Amino acid sequence: MAAITAGLVKELRERTGGGMMDCKKALTEAGGDLDQAARLLRERGIAKADKKAGRATSEGRIAAAVSADGKTGALVEVACETDFVAKTDEFVAFSDALAALVCEKEPADDAALAAMETPEGPVSERLKAMIGKLGENMGLGRFARLEVAGEGAVASYVHAGGKIGVLTQVSGSGEAASQLAHNVSMHVAAMAPQSLSRGDLAADLVEQEREVLRKQAEGEGKPAEIIDKMVEGRLNKFFKEVVLLEQQLVMDPDTTVGKAAKAAGAEVTAFRRLQLGVD
């Protein structure tokens, strides 16, 4: 058997586009025979998958999962090339299973997610198998996870055929709190708030908005002595547009999200929103 040298692995990688460990494993199984190793990679869908790595993955799906006790939730973005593949049973099942895995296991980062074990092997290998089966490039995107400590609930909502996914975490107990979490998730999908509260907004973003409003007021020829009051008044309006707790609730525009939570005897403590292809 030929020695499995770094040069041999490199040659197979260049020939097939396979990953280093995949190529080394195939060469070992093939006794160092490049042609046989290349066939093994093709049979496993690895060479076919990696040759598609340059294709754009602008379609896909956001999948959501919530634990049986309603205390933990997760979102996962899985990308592919076409909306047709994103709607196939295989792709939907894979993304749903991935969301359930993140919900259960809490991976630390992208690399940890790719390495997580499933009954069919590591996530990265399952992805390659999917690529080989469905014939499109695919990729793991962002993921998010929320978990309640103590009383409370996590709800999820997936909108627009999987293009937008939301998790909302609330404190409190009972049906009212659970319903609040669901309603707020739907609200977040529609309104895309930038933060939970004013204090969560980036200071530089607030300062940038304040400066824009000041220049607007100056451009309107307003007296210097009232510009500050005008700016703060308009800044309050800005907060009501981008801060979740201050937004008018989509289901009941006569109240805000914060007031609706208070009426339910609960508190919105966190949310996560993923939109396919949008950072």
Q: What is the pLDDT of residues 33-76, one digit of tens each?
A: 888 888 787 767 676 544 444 455 579 999 999 999 999 999 99
Tokens of 214: 């000041």
Angle in degrees, CA 93, 44, 5, rounded to 5: 135
Number of continuous H segments (helices) and E segments (strands) in the chain: 12, 10
How far is it, in rounded angstroms, from Cα 96 to Cα 113? Answer: 14
What is the rounded CA–CA span in Å between residue 278 and residue 249?
24
| CA separation for the pair 166, 278 (Å, rounded) | 14
- Please tell me which of 14-23, 48-57, 192-201 the model is most confident about, judged by mean pLDDT: 192-201
Q: pLDDT of 208-221, one tens digit each? A: 888 888 888 888 88
> Quick one: pLDDT at residue 45?
65
CA distance 60 to 262: 37
- The four Cα atoms 206, 209, 215, 220 give a dihedral, to 10 degrees, of -120
Domains of the chain: 6-51 (1.10.8.10), 54-147 (3.30.479.20), 202-242 (1.10.286)
- In the three-class reduction of DSSP (H, G, I as helix; E, B as strand; rest coil), residue 172 is classed as coil
Q: Which helix (H) or strand (E) holds 223?
A: none
CA distance 240 to 262: 17
pTM above 0.75, yes or no: yes
- Residue 39 near residue 121 (C-beta atoms within 8 A): no
The Cα 255–Cα 98 span in angstroms is: 37
Cα–Cα distance for residue pair 164/267, rounded to 1 Å: 23
